[in-house]
Amino acid sequence: FDSIQGAVLVKPLQHGKMLSQDYIDLKIPKDFSGTIQIGHRAVTIQVDEINSISGMIRPGNFIDLFTRISAVGIPALASSGSAEVVIPVLEDVLVLATDKVSARPNEDEFKNLDARERQRTYNTLTLEVTPREAALIALAETRGNLIAALRNATDTGGILFSKVSLC
């Protein structure tokens, strides 16, 4: 009994039925923090219907992040001749969760799995990033509007530009 104490029941077990390995999972983290890789952090950004690709970004997907900012007052960007520019912030970022639905289930989610109605739309994306990338996202959010671009699961190509403007 000690070896399974704290394990999560992953499917219903009828009263009086013998407990077997098929019914439990010892590897499920206790809470969401246990799903984050060591050395990484979870950062949540706000999205809207457009930035969530109409709600089609799902936990486990990878995205690229861009920011649309005003070039006014920033000499390096003002040289483009455009009032606004889009610059890449990060590429190939893992989406851990959309609102409260995560890619890597944890014990809290298993407790509420049947009771919860999964939403098609959401207002936030939680991303797995390094501490430096978290700081970069925070700066990009304060300077402009973040844009999430969904990647194909097999796409390993990089972003091939440093800024885009209308001029």
Instruction: Locate 2 and state its tokens.
Output: 């000690």
Angle made by CA atoms 42, 47, 51, in degrees to the nearest 5: 115
pLDDT above 70: residue 78: no
pLDDT above 50: residue 146: yes
Q: How far is CA 8 from CA 13, 31, 129, 144, in A?
A: 12, 12, 28, 43
The fraction of the chain above a pLDDT of 70, given in percent, is 75
For the segment 72-77, the average pLDDT, to the nearest whole number, is 70
Strands 144-150 and 101-102: unpaired
- Between 118 and 126, name the one with better pLDDT: 126
User: Cβ distance 127 to 36 under 8 Å?
Assistant: no
| Confidence at residue 102, expressed as pLDDT on a 0 to 100 scale | 67
**CA-based nearest residue to 90, from 49, 50, 54, 125:** 125
Split at pLDDT 50, 70, 90, the class of 116 is: very low
- Between 20 and 127, name the one with better pLDDT: 127
User: Cβ distance 102 to 122 under 8 Å?
Assistant: no
Q: What is the mean pLDDT of the chain?
A: 81
Strands 124-129 and 41-46: antiparallel
For the segment 52-56, the average pLDDT, to the nearest whole number, is 80
For the segment 109-131, the average pLDDT, to the nearest whole number, is 70
C-alpha–C-alpha distance, residues 23 and 12, integer Å? 8
Q: Fill in the amino acid letter for 11.
A: K
For the segment 60-87, the average pLDDT, to the nearest whole number, is 82
Kindly provide the residue ranges of all beta strands, DSSP E only, lying in the chain, ordered along the sequence.
Answer: 8-9, 24-25, 41-46, 62-70, 84-98, 101-102, 124-129, 144-150, 164-165
